[in-house]
Amino acid sequence: MRFAGLPVVPFSGLFRHSHHPGETFHGKFRAPSRHRYRAGPGRLNFFIALADILRGRRRLFYGWYMVAGLATVSLVSVNMAGISLGFFVRPMQDELEISDAYFGWAQSARLIGFGVSSYFIGRILDRYGARWPLVVAGILAGVLVVLLATIQAGWQFVVLFVFIGAIGMQGGGGNLYASVPIARWFRRNRGKAMSTVFLGIPAGIFLIPIVTYLITNTGWRATFVATGIFGGIVVVLVAAFVIRRSPEDMGLGPDGDPLDGPADDRADAPRPAAEYSWTRQQALRSSAFWRLVLVYGFLFLAMSTVSLFRTPYFEDQGVSRQMIGFAFSAEAVASVLAAIPAGWALDRYQIRYVASIPLLVMVLAVFATMAASNAWQVFLATCLFGVGAASSSVANNVIWPDYFGSLHIGAIRGRAMLGVYLFSAAGSPFAGFIKDTTGSYFPAWWAAIAGLLVAVVILLTNPRPAAPEADSGTEVEPVDAAASG
């Protein structure tokens, strides 16, 4: 099938139907229908849908505007004392005379603060949605990052990071403000939506050369002020004007489907499996929940052990700060190239098998980091890290609603993150302590590799749990046999 000389490519789930009653299409009369347009066996055709949008006859499902807004939030928040923090280490040490251990403790303080607050944040997001909580979080995060410019001692740095973590604006796999609403707005296309939101993080990595330029030319204090003000303003504007609570509030179901049924009612049309939404209490009684906590605890333990100190490690190998900044830009490209295929695969294949692959890639990334001694090896290490971090972050955000449903996912993820982040909080101070006492990061990084391999084994032996009996008075979405296997 071809359209305007171009091959047809199936692309389902992006658009909502708004054809006029009784119109003709490709010479064939189509009766009025409340359902979405169907090109081919139960799927939309991307080029035909795009042509209709350009003619004003079709409108984009609002969930994709949510995706774009949350990706923008990720873009700016990762540079608010986030992924670029490693570039502040040496300048701050030169002025404040503080050891690597303080930076490790600061990262752990952020994780502990977020782990403790995530339970409450998740319940707030389940009840009220992400819009106004994200406005408040943007204001507080901007103020706290600006306050980092005023510190005079290492302990002040650690204390501020407790509060930065408690706000909950973690990038990647830890951002409840992004993962909870996307789980609500999407079911059939959840993997694609999560991977698109994640693109904001590698896009933010592209800003790292700007951050390094500001540090070099204006100082680390002025850079904290600039990133805090800019990031806070962007987050508040996006939250206030783009984010909405749920598709049901706009008269839609997940993926833009009608509230009273699936978008396509033909017998041969593919349907997503029905989704059972576990309560928090039910999830806590499931062994699958605790196994996932262990898997992602080991993953974030390994990442926190490596991510903060790889920048000063590369500098110690004689690689310039500017070259490392370009290597992180290459990491961003690798993350983009990995995130979209990861989302596609998670929507189509057995999720635990797909989710185990990035853990193995992260093992290779740690090996490559340890072996890096020149520029091209640094580029290889950062690219592998980007692939592993991107795909594992997408998998983390998809696997929880896939296993436990979306209705109470904020409370479930909040409780899980308390365990994950408290477990992984030891990574950075452990690596800093090892470096200060032995002069090398390698013992800590070998431990990170061992933890990742254990996580792979646990994940591969942890299938999706069968739906339990509903608690009395619990609101659930039913599950069919296909969904419980």
Q: pLDDT per residue over 122-153, tens digit each?
A: 889 888 888 999 999 999 999 999 999 999 99
Q: Which long-range contacts (CB under 8 A, 24 or more apart) does 441-444 make?
A: 441/309, 441/313, 441/370, 442/370, 444/305
State the helix-helix crossing angle for 409-424 and 176-185, rounded to 10 degrees: 150
**CA atoms of 168 and 164, how far apart (whole Å):** 7
Question: What pLDDT was estimated at residue 35?
Answer: 40
What's the pLDDT score for residue 54? 62
Continuous segment of H or E residues that includes residue 24: strand 24-25
When the candidates are 1.20.1250.20, 3.40.50.720, 1.10.490.10, 3.40.50.10490, the CATH number that belongs to 62-260+276-465+478-484 is 1.20.1250.20
Please answer whether residues 312 and 432 qualify as being in contact, where contact means their C-beta atoms are separated by less than 8 angstroms: no
Residues in Cβ contact with 26 at an 8 Å cutoff, skipping those fewer than 6 apart? none
Locate the domains of the chain by residue range: 2-60, 62-260+276-465+478-484
pLDDT at 52: 60
pTM over 0.75: no
Please name the residue that has the structure tokens 């923008």. 72
Check residue 51 and give its pLDDT: 60
Write out residues in the chain with pLDDT < 70, as ranges. 1-58, 170-174, 260-275, 469-485
User: What confidence score (pLDDT) does residue 260 get?
Assistant: 64
